[in-house]
Amino acid sequence: MSKTAIVTGGSRGIGRAVCIRLAKDGYNIVFNYNSNEEQANITLEEIEKQGVQARAFRLNIKESENCAELVKQTADTFGTVDVLVNNAGITRDGLLMRMKDEDFADVIDTNLSGAFYMLRAVSKYMMKQRHGSIINMSSIVGVNGNAGQVNYAASKAGIIGMTKSAARELAARNIRVNAVAPGMIETDMTAVLPENVREQMLAQIPLKEIGKPEDIANTVAFFASEDSRYITGQVLLVDGGMS
Ligand code: NAP
């Protein structure tokens, strides 16, 4: 029987690499994005080249009911939801003293609440199936903190707590929940950083290279697969040795 994975934020960056990698591993892919239809179509084409089925939905992850509907439609179409990758995320950086309420709320609502809505919705199906693997995208910033990112760090640390709690709650039904915490990865999110900041960060990476989206996708594929069948509740830092 074919396998199905849901990936949030699949139009660009790490999410796109995850979609393509899981498609190579034989999963049908359902992904969502916020607004970038052109990029989403590129991801769709890349997935279909791997010979599996793909569906893309323009869906704001902050909307709980739409998240539930996405999962329902996936289960109705493909009959199973084997993997969820909670990847969609944003930054709204700024110093603590000047950070606006809406910048704090936007990041928490997108990165943390959005992941919760998806986690809750897939759990219902995975519990009935008695199997599943959920992979949540945290960040090195959620582990170590970072000046100028209290909102983002809070959301990514929250992801870790949510991962560990859900792992305990769902283990009896053979559902594993793990987190991947990337260091600095070459995507649109990091492309906006000034050159001097990039150089400072690069100097802190023992492997002397900014990571590629595929480095994270490979780790997600491991957590999705049976190769990690005895691992749950873990946070794996994929950061070139930075931490
Ligand atoms: P990215 O290139 O900026 O892509 C973000 C993705 O999330 C896009 O597909 C975007 O859709 C989607 N998205 C954003 N807000 C959304 C919303 N409200 N509803 C639905 N989809 C939404 O980001 P990335 O660098 O690949 O990061 C992916 C994940 O890895 C994030 O959770 C990020 O925090 C985490 N991470 C990244 C790094 C890094 O160095 N890049 C490091 C640590 C952790 P649109 O294209 O439509 O906007």
- List CB contacts of 197: < 8 A, sequence separation 6 or more: none
Q: Is the pLDDT of residue 1 over 90?
A: no
Per-residue pLDDT at 229 exceeds 80: yes
What atom of ligand 1 comes closest to residue 216's alpha carbon?
30
> Residues 67-76: pLDDT tens digits?
999 999 999 9
Annotated catalytic residue within 27, 125, 152, 230: 152
For the chain, the residue count is 243
Q: 207: which 2 tokens?
A: 């492997």
Does residue 117 have an active-site annotation? Answer: no
Query: What is the per-residue DSSP string for 164-196?
Result: HHHHHHHGGGTEEEEEEEE-SB-SHHHHTS-HH
Query: Is 147 strand, coil or helix?
Result: coil
Q: With 0.95 as the threshold, say if the pTM is over it.
A: yes
How would residue 124 be classed by pLDDT, with cut points 50, 70 and 90? very high
CA pseudo-torsion sign 161, 179, 174, 66: positive
pLDDT band at 150 (very low <50, low <70, confident <90, very high): very high
Residues touching ligand 1 (Cβ under 6 Å) are: 9-15, 32-36, 39, 60-62, 87-90, 110, 137, 139, 182, 184-185, 187-190
- What are residue 140's phi and psi, to 5 degrees? -55, -30
- The residue whose CA has the least distance to atom 44 of ligand 1 is 139
Q: How far apart are CA 125 and CA 134, in angstroms?
A: 12
